[in-house]
Structure 1
Amino acid sequence: MQNYEMMLIFTPVLADDEFKAAQKKFTSFIKENGGEIVHENAWGLKSLAYPIQKKTTGLYFVVEFTAPTDLNAKMEIQLNRDESVMRHMVTHLDKFAVAYNNRKRNAPAKAEVKEETVS
């Protein structure tokens, strides 16, 4: 089992329930093919760095998962078939990236800085 992180950019014309259904579609696909979801994060609507298909915004979704290596080829086919996916990127995570993601995810909220008043 290898560790991966996948970022998907969906078309911004999806309704909220369609966006959630698309997220569930790909997380379910990972689980059905022997993978395990570690963490998922829906970023929502963000501006794109450059226009894609004449759109300047997209719905971002990031999922971290562990899966066998043959899953990537199967998922690539599904991602290319889905018209709601504008862009996708799957990244293999080494042990340092996995440790960093765990620390970042489990870090306590930043302590509030108290302002000192000068008398």
Structure 2
Amino acid sequence: MKQEQQILQLLGLAVRARMLISGEELVVKDIRNNRAKLVIISTDASDNTMKKIQDKCNSYNVELHVFGDRSDLGHATGKAERVVLAINDHGFAKKLIELLNEFNRG
């Protein structure tokens, strides 16, 4: 539970630092423009969204993690429900990837 909290708090910090964008279209645009360093998709994303984001991440070589549900991600970013998030900062991305890898091993 602790790692989950850390991840969600870090997402909140990334929002305040203006290093996080959300929403499928904006995330896809950021992946295409090589701005996205990390993409997080909720566990309850639709199959279509999941496939579209996975394909984009694969073709542009962006790390993708599945984490939390849409309300967790929305809550962490201070918005309504969010399905897809992109981190546009190396520092935040690096730390989040470490935490997500630990969380997924847990």
Which structure's residues are more often strand, by fraction?
A: 1
Which structure's residues are more often helix, by fraction?
A: 2
Question: What band does the TM-score fall into relative to the shorter chain?
Answer: 0.3 to 0.5
TM-score, length of structure 1 as denominator length: 0.35
Q: Which has more radius of gyration?
A: 1
